[in-house]
């Protein structure tokens, strides 16, 4: 018997709109692939101008909004990828992540990059399972 995948595009006004040729998230069956989020403020589509911790919080808030639009929340994230233009900020990611997540924590990777869209200093994408 052939299984047919359920494929759905996730979009919410509570997170920044896509700034390129991609969707905020794609849901396939019970797995949701969240596109990268930078610290854009959804209402203005401008980068958060606060310190690094405020920017990390904005990214988690953006990810949460997309996760909720898909029918889940941050607790459903099984894999988180973090991209930083300065790996010295990694300790801040750990600190803020502890405010948004409870054990068991998702699998995670942190990667240092030369640049991010719109001059952002942090970006994260995720996979969640509903």
Chunked into runs of 10 residues, the chain (130 residues) has average pLDDT values of: 84 95 97 98 96 98 98 98 98 97 97 97 98
CATH no. for residue 98? 3.30.1330.40
Residue 4 is predicted with a pLDDT of: 76
pLDDT of residue 107: 98
What pLDDT, on the 0 to 100 scale, is given for residue 21? 96
Instruction: Look at the chain and report how many structural domains it folds into.
Output: 1
In a domain, 31, yes or no: yes
Return all residues near 122 (Cβ < 8 A) that are at least 6 apart: 38, 39, 52, 55, 56, 59, 82, 83, 84, 85, 89, 93, 116
pLDDT of residue 5: 81
Range of the domain at 12: 7-129
Residue 3 has what pLDDT?
74
Residue 46 lies in a domain: yes
Residue 57 lies in a domain: yes
Which neighbouring-strand residues pair with 109? 81
pLDDT for res 1: 65
Nearest Cα residue to 77 out of 124, 8, 5, 130: 130
pLDDT at residue 2, as a whole number = 72
Kindly state whether residue 64 falls inside one of the protein's structural domains: yes
């Amino acid at each position: 018997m052939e299984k047919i995948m359920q494929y759905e595009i996730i979009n919410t006004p509570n997170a920044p709109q896509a700034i390129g040729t991609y969707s905020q998230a794609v849901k396939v069956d019970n797995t949701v692939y969240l596109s990268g989020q930078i610290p854009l403020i959804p209402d203005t589509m401008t980068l958060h101008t606060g310190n690094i911790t405020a920017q990390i919080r904005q990214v988690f808030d953006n990810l949460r909004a997309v996760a909720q639009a898909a029918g889940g929340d941050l607790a459903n994230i099984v894999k988180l990828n973090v991209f930083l233009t300065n790996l010295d900020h990694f300790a801040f990611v750990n600190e803020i992540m502890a405010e948004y997540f409870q054990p068991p924590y998702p699998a995670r990777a942190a990667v240092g990059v030369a640049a991010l869209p719109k001059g952002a200093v942090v970006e994260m994408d995720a996979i969640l399972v509903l």
